[in-house]
């Protein structure tokens, strides 16, 4: 190979290597929300501790993972108890010890509640 070709290959390699080093890598985050033990009995709504945390702020592309740490089955259903499900997500019946994940691809505010225990409410804000 001649010197010009070797120089061009070196420059190409160096450029690609620098792009890999300086290009930021985007990682989606996962946020955990727990159904609080005892949340199947009214009262947790008074201290806003039915879902812990009851409100989360995330970025587009992040995932929220709900874990049922209570002794009763629950749902994680988008919408509000007064108006019902809005169709964005629904865990169906989430048994004790199980998890339910949703990745949010659009910005907005997403209210959710438990259809079995409607005093359990929460919110996901996606920016």
On the 0-12 / 13-18 / 19+ scale of CB atoms within 10 A, 76 is buried
Length of the chain: 127
Q: Which among 59, 68, 56, 66 is positioned nearest to 111, based on CA atoms? A: 56
Return d(Cα 93, Cα 8) in angstroms, integer.
61
**For position 112, what pLDDT does the model report?**
99
**For position 105, what pLDDT does the model report?**
98
pTM, whole model, 2 decimals? 0.79
**For position 11, what pLDDT does the model report?**
40
**For position 1, what pLDDT does the model report?**
55
CB atoms within 10 A of CB 25: 5
Digitized pLDDT (tens) for each residue of the chain, 127 residues in all: 565 655 444 444 444 444 443 334 457 799 999 999 999 999 999 999 999 999 999 999 999 999 999 999 999 999 999 999 999 999 999 999 999 999 999 999 999 999 999 999 999 999 9
Residue 44 contacts residue 72 (beta carbons within 8 Å)? no
- Sheet order of strands, 30-35 included: 51-52, 30-35, 63-68, 99-103
Q: Which among 62, 78, 72 is positioned nearest to 29, based on CA atoms? A: 62
**For position 28, what pLDDT does the model report?**
76
Which domains does the chain carry? 28-126 (2.60.40.420)
């Amino acid at each position: 190979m001649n010197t010009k070709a070797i120089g061009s290959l070196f420059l190409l390699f160096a450029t690609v290597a620098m792009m890999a080093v300086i290009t930021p890598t985007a990682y989606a985050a996962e946020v955990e929300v727990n159904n609080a033990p005892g949340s199947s009995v009214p009262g947790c709504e008074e201290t806003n501790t039915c879902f812990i945390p009851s409100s989360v702020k995330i970025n587009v592309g992040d995932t929220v993972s709900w874990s049922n740490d209570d002794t009763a089955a629950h749902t994680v259903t988008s919408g509000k108890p007064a108006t019902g499900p809005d169709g964005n997500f629904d865990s169906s019946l989430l048994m004790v010890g199980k998890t339910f994940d949703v990745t949010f691809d659009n910005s907005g505010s997403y209210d959710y509640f438990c259809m079995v225990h409607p005093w359990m409410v929460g919110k996901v804000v996606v920016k």
